[in-house]
Homo-oligomer: A and B are copies of this chain.
Amino acid sequence: MSEQYEKGLKKLKEVTGGSGEAVVASFREIAPDLSRYIIEFPFGEIYSRPGLDIQKRQLVTVSSLVTQGDTAQALDVHINAALNVGLTPNEIIEAIIHLLPYAGWPKVQNGVNIAAKVFKDRNVAPVWENEK
């Protein structure tokens, strides 16, 4: 395997853990080059770049996915990744709610629903003070 592939595989596991690896594997039969491109570019190149810390990177990804819509598979991977890189459930919900004025209420509601599923699978939850 090329150096970029090796670097990407390492970064994929580090950031996305099992959920990202499963998605990559799911394409190996129908489109093996898609599996390779997922590893080589987003992870081998982009996520491996210095210059922006991993938590900030992860929030940039989550924000784009919530904003786009129809990204349920990718958002599942990337909300898991957000937890993996040390963002708390509260911070993740805050980031999605932050999008209310930018992406609108329906997309934010979709994003929070997906976060809820991931949190349930990971047995974590945000902790809120009593809000009035």
CB distance from A26 to the nearest CB of B (A): 8
B60 touches A98 (CB 8 A): yes
Chain A contact patch, size range: 35 or more
Q: Which of chain A's residues 34-93 have a Cβ closer than 8 Å to chain B?
A: 34, 36-38, 41-42, 45-46, 49, 51-52, 55-57, 59-71, 73-74, 90-91, 93
Give the chain B neighbours of A74 by CB distance below 8 A.
105-106, 109
Give the chain B neighbours of A98 by CB distance below 8 A.
46, 49, 52, 57, 60-61
B90 touches A27 (CB 8 A): no
CA gap between A64 and B104 in the complex, in Å: 11
Copies in the complex: 6
Give the chain B neighbours of A103 by CB distance below 8 A.
64, 68, 104
19 A–B contact pairs at CB < 8 A? A27-B112, A37-B45, A37-B100, A38-B105, A41-B41, A41-B100, A46-B97, A46-B100, A52-B91, A56-B56, A56-B91, A60-B62, A64-B99, A69-B71, A70-B107, A71-B110, A73-B110, A74-B106, A74-B109
Q: 1/0 per residue A106-117: CB within 8 Å of B?
A: 111110110110
B30 touches A93 (CB 8 A): yes
Give the chain B neighbours of A99 by CB distance below 8 A.
60, 64
